[in-house]
A = this chain, B = another copy of it.
Amino acid sequence: MADQLPSWTDGPAKAQILEFVRSVTEPGASFVPAADRIAAFDNDGTLWCEKPMNPQADFLLRRWEETAQAHPGKAKEQPWKAVTEGDQAWLAGVLAHVPELTRGVTEAYAGITVEAFERAVRAFFDTARHPVLGVPYTRLGYQPMRELIDLLTAMQFEVYICSAGGRDFVRAVAGQMYGIPRQRVIGSGTTLEYRHGAVYRTKGVEQPIDDGPGKPVHIWTRTGRKPLLAAGNADGDAAMLRTARFGLLIRHDDAGREFAYDAGSEKALAKAKERDWTVVSMQNDFKVVFDL
């Protein structure tokens, strides 16, 4: 039989994944009907590279730069002041935190239709390059995770992205990068308003955001289920993983091929053993990281 996860090293993580998928799809005590096979994947750091800056932070930074150039009068106010003055410390502080990042995108793109926003996102992905690796962000999905999505899809799972980042940002590329259709992207969102046949973005942030305890809430709202399998990499994924039958926690420990960091995932890593989550070491468990 062909190797279903060829970019994964043969080891405990791969074996546990394959055994779990087998156990719920073959007749037996653990069998789950296809209709109930829901999988939920975090995106930043689980499906795509989020360092040194996640793509949505880059997207927002460019918007602030455009605005600062078009309206020099704004240069005394944040965030345009930080952009104008190159205040990296201030920007890093804002762009690293999901609620601030979400609010930033929401405010920077308020008042346009959802379709116009998607065109702006597409234009960004068509032109932006990763600052270190120099390739389009759309090529920086983790190849082993794409294989896992494809395996689950082949086994009749309905696979969802459950991202703390922007739902409508990720939707623009989820099909291309992961083969996940737009209706299966769950994420944080701006408030929306219908007027005269169109849906417009407004300035608010939909509550709760899709992070931490918000993830199981969003997954229920969207699917009416708890996930059978969930995958994440950060403390904000711990609640989602806890509600899943099988939890995968990606560990960023490969400084050579990606970036090595545990910051923001300390609590989740500490819980992994107690909760019986499968910890995936990018260094040891990924034969290939990116398909470059």
CB atoms of A220 and B199 under 8 A apart: yes
Minimum-distance CB pairs A-B, first 6:
A182-B224, A194-B213, A183-B223, A194-B216, A192-B217, A199-B220
Task: Provide the main secondary structure of the chain A interface.
Answer: helix
A189 CB within 8 Å of chain B: yes
CB atoms of A239 and B183 under 8 A apart: no
A168 CB within 8 Å of chain B: yes
Interface size class of A (residues with CB under 8 A): 35 or more
CB atoms of B224 and A171 under 8 A apart: yes
A243 CB within 8 Å of chain B: yes
A165 CB within 8 Å of chain B: no
Please tell me how many copies of the chain the complex holds.
Answer: 2
* Given A35-B175, A182-B223, 17 extra CB contacts under 8 A: A114-B220, A167-B224, A171-B224, A182-B225, A183-B223, A185-B224, A193-B213, A193-B217, A194-B216, A194-B217, A194-B239, A195-B213, A197-B242, A198-B243, A199-B216, A199-B220, A199-B243
CB distance from A177 to the nearest CB of B (A): 15
A232 CB within 8 Å of chain B: no
User: For A74, what are the chain B residues with a Cβ–Cβ distance below 8 Å?
Assistant: none
Given A193-B213, A213-B193: A183 touches B225 (CB 8 Å cut-off): yes
A222 CB within 8 Å of chain B: yes
Residue from A38, A114, A243 having most chain B Cβ neighbours under 10 A: A114
CB atoms of B222 and A183 under 8 A apart: yes
